[in-house]
Chains A and B, each alone.
Chain A
Amino acid sequence: MSVLVVMEQSGGKWNRMSWETVAAGQQLAAELGTDLNIAVAGAGVGALAAEAATKKAAKVYAVEHEALGSYTADGYTAAIEALIRATNPTLVLFPHTYQVRDFAPKLATRFSRVLISDAVAVRIEAGSPVFVRLLFQGKLNGDVRVSGGGPYFASLQAGAYRVDTLAEGSAAVETFAPSIEAAAIRQKPEASFRESARAVDLTAAEIIVSVGRGIKEKDNIHVVEELAKALGAELAASRPICDAGWLPMERQVGSSGQTVAPKVYIAVGISGAIQHLVGMKGAKTIVAINKDANAPMFEVADYGIVGDLFEVVPALVEEVKKAKA
């Protein structure tokens, strides 16, 4: 019995969410009265494993294979499956990243288990974990109970656990060499790329006015544009607005767009799905304007106005102009 945290790296660099997962693993291992082990997979991950070993854990496994140099779903599934079979953890934790979404469900299936994905909290009840997940785009929470014996698999949402609770320590580093048949890896990945240089750097903005589905149609975008202009703010948007081509992709905030932390983030007609929240919840002050009082955006907002944005926003523009006069 043990807890295993699978950290994520790419090209020798950590995905920073991994440290939150280690913090979660430390906490849950203590609650379960068991050891925490950490794994990092790749080709030449010795230095990363040594860095992970400065945290409180029993062992850090450097899961090494040439075929793990570039990430593939098949390669990573085979490697972590082998490690789990060799070490028998009760609970396997991942950061909820795009990469984890790509292979961890496959891995859990090999053990006839379900990956409890995107969990925001884990508590131990009578020796087994109960996971809290967001349902309906964050409108409701659900407690998920697992059964049938370990290993249980879960991925943790960004921000669910705090890095500042990470305990330092000194773990033993062990190299684990899984046997992977390179020819059996079906995905052939190419180098990653960016579409074009970003013309808009939202990360430098002090004030951001951001617009979501509530704007209803492209011809209404000028309503929020005027507020942005009055405030001297950058205009941003949630994914559906950019998907529809109403604003360019480079103005998108969220997990697939930019991550911003302005002084003020004014969310207009954005319900607040987690994919958007992860991109802006670091803002110092959050303002929500939405007609739905139950919109998850109000849960992270400091200030809010519940109402029709087509009435609220013009009124705001007027008041901002007055205040600036």
Chain B
Amino acid sequence: MKIIVAIKQVPVRDSQLRVESDGRWIQEADLSFEINEPDAYALEEGLQLKEKHGGEVIALCLGPARAAQTIREALAKGADRAIHIEEENLGALDVLGVAKLLAGAVKAENPDLILTGLQSDDLGYGQTGVVMAELMGIASSTIIMQVEVNGPSIRVKRELEDGWFQHITMPLPAVLTIQSGGNKLRYATLMGIKKAKSKEIKRVTIDELGGAPAPTAAVEKIYVPQKSKKTQIFEGDVKVAAAALVEKLKFEVRVI
């Protein structure tokens, strides 16, 4: 089966973020980037399905030139080839625009299955996969923990709230957004890293996909959230801070 895995490159998790002087995005110059963690789980699911059922895994990424590093890592883990929609100005796109470009880039591939993470760690809209499915006229399901392929259809385990789950069957082709924890993530092997160097990355521009659609939703301003609660921070020597906290727990919260 032909599986597309849409991945996104985001700032590494512990990055210290600073707002750019125009107030519209973060300063990216000093940051390091990595694969969006839920997308790593989508890639893992794709690779395991390929190992079970044969076929091909194609990594798909919309991002600036620096995203090539994340794409290489996906290839090193076992993706067969990649499509990189190279664009520096992602801020000019909204979710619908991103999904249109992603859908446009894979249409000719006629994939059986498209996987992506359930949300991104930066914008967190949590809907790129669903919108792609709608634009391509194929079925979708979200927050998926397991995928079983049965010929022309799939049976997936979808996570619900509060520890509930549900199985859903739907026809292929389909788009699934993958939840973390369904599989254990693999590391790239040395051999994988070596092989990745000769794997194909097809670069596409937004213009080649018909141009960037005009956005109907735009981030106007980003800022550090205002604290709604007064937090008492205990500072200084660790022992002193610990003693001060325990005193609060004993005499004010009264749990000791």
B139 contacts across to A, CB distance below 8 A: 73-74, 186-187
Cα distance A34–B121 when bound, in Å?
A: 36
Q: Is there an interface contact between A73 and B217, defined as CB atoms closer than 8 Å? A: no
Cα distance A117–B218 when bound, in Å?
A: 13
Q: Answer whether A140 and B19 are a contact pair too, CB < 8 Å, given A301-B231, A303-B234.
A: yes
What residue in chain A is nearest B19 (Cβ atoms)? A140
Cα distance A65–B11 when bound, in Å?
A: 45
Interchain CB contact (< 8 A) of B255 among A134, A207, A255? A207
Minimal beta-carbon separation of B150 from chain A (angstroms): 12
B223 contacts chain A at the CB level, 8 A cutoff: yes
Q: Is there an interface contact between B216 and A112, defined as CB atoms closer than 8 Å? A: yes
B190 contacts chain A at the CB level, 8 A cutoff: no
Q: Is there an interface contact between B235 and A306, defined as CB atoms closer than 8 Å? A: yes
Q: Is there an interface contact between A101 and B225, defined as CB atoms closer than 8 Å? A: no
B107 contacts across to A, CB distance below 8 A: none
A294 contacts across to B, CB distance below 8 A: 16-17, 224
Interface residues in B176-234 (C-beta closer than 8 Å to A): 179-181, 184, 214-225, 227-234
Q: Answer whether A116 and B217 are a contact pair too, CB < 8 Å, given A105-B127, A141-B223, A192-B165.
A: yes
Q: Is there an interface contact between A302 and B181, defined as CB atoms closer than 8 Å? A: no
Cα distance A116–B218 when bound, in Å?
A: 10
Q: Is there an interface contact between B256 and A324, defined as CB atoms closer than 8 Å? A: yes
Which of B46-54, B71-79, B109-117, B244-252 forms part of the interface with chain A? B244-252
Q: Answer whether A117 and B250 are a contact pair too, CB < 8 Å, given A74-B139, A102-B141, A140-B224.
A: no
Q: Is there an interface contact between B223 and A140, defined as CB atoms closer than 8 Å? A: yes
A90 contacts chain B at the CB level, 8 A cutoff: no
A98 contacts across to B, CB distance below 8 A: 142-143, 159-161
Interchain CB contact (< 8 A) of B126 among A118, A284, A287, A299? A118
B96 contacts across to A, CB distance below 8 A: 109, 112-114
Interchain CB contact (< 8 A) of B140 among A106, A148, A194, A256? A106
Interface residues in B122-161 (C-beta closer than 8 Å to A): 122-127, 130-131, 133-135, 139-143, 159-161
Q: Is there an interface contact between B231 and A302, defined as CB atoms closer than 8 Å? A: yes
Cα distance A318–B246 when bound, in Å?
A: 10
Cα distance A54–B218 when bound, in Å?
A: 37
A-B contact count (CB 8 A): 257
B164 contacts across to A, CB distance below 8 A: 192-194
Q: Is there an interface contact between B95 and A302, defined as CB atoms closer than 8 Å? A: no
Q: Answer whether A307 and B238 are a contact pair too, CB < 8 Å, given A264-B255, A319-B243.
A: yes
Q: Answer whether A299 and B227 are a contact pair too, CB < 8 Å, given A186-B139, A239-B181.
A: yes
Contact with B along A256-281 (1 / 0, CB 8 A): 11110001100000000000000000
Cα distance A139–B222 when bound, in Å?
A: 10
A178 contacts chain B at the CB level, 8 A cutoff: no
B14 contacts chain A at the CB level, 8 A cutoff: yes
Cα distance A139–B242 when bound, in Å?
A: 26
A86 contacts chain B at the CB level, 8 A cutoff: no
Contact with B along A119-153 (1 / 0, CB 8 A): 00000000000100111111111111111100000
Interface residues in B31-80 (C-beta closer than 8 Å to A): none
Which of A42-50, A165-173, A308-316 forms part of the interface with chain B? A308-316
Q: Is there an interface contact between B161 and A299, defined as CB atoms closer than 8 Å? A: no
Cα distance A110–B130 when bound, in Å?
A: 12
A206 contacts chain B at the CB level, 8 A cutoff: yes
Q: Is there an interface contact between B234 and A304, defined as CB atoms closer than 8 Å? A: yes
Minimal beta-carbon separation of A308 from chain B (angstroms): 8
Q: Is there an interface contact between A263 and B171, defined as CB atoms closer than 8 Å? A: no
Contact with A along B1-31 (1 / 0, CB 8 A): 0000000000101101101000000100000
Q: Is there an interface contact between A189 and B131, defined as CB atoms closer than 8 Å? A: no
B179 contacts across to A, CB distance below 8 A: 256
Q: Answer whether A316 and B168 are a contact pair too, CB < 8 Å, given A114-B217, A140-B225, A302-B231.
A: no
Q: Is there an interface contact between A263 and B170, defined as CB atoms closer than 8 Å? A: no
Q: Is there an interface contact between A192 and B168, defined as CB atoms closer than 8 Å? A: no
Minimal beta-carbon separation of A203 from chain B (angstroms): 11
Minimal beta-carbon separation of B82 from chain A (angstroms): 25
* B contact set with A: CB distance below 8 Å: 11, 13-14, 16-17, 19, 26, 94-96, 99, 118, 121-127, 130-131, 133-135, 139-143, 159-171, 174, 179-181, 184, 214-225, 227-235, 238-239, 241-243, 245-250, 253, 255-256
Q: List 19 A-B contacts (CB under 8 A).
A: A102-B143, A106-B131, A106-B140, A113-B96, A114-B125, A115-B125, A134-B225, A143-B221, A148-B214, A186-B139, A186-B170, A213-B13, A231-B256, A245-B184, A287-B245, A294-B16, A299-B229, A300-B229, A302-B231
* A contact set with B: CB distance below 8 Å: 73-74, 97-98, 101-106, 108-110, 112-118, 130, 133-148, 186-195, 198, 206-207, 213, 231, 239-240, 242-243, 245, 249, 255-259, 263-264, 284-285, 287-288, 292, 294, 296, 298-307, 311-312, 315-316, 318-320, 322-324
- Beyond contacts A187-B168, A249-B163, A256-B179: 14 other A-B pairs, Cβ-Cβ < 8 A, are A112-B216, A114-B217, A135-B122, A135-B123, A136-B11, A141-B224, A142-B219, A143-B221, A146-B216, A191-B166, A193-B166, A213-B13, A303-B232, A305-B242
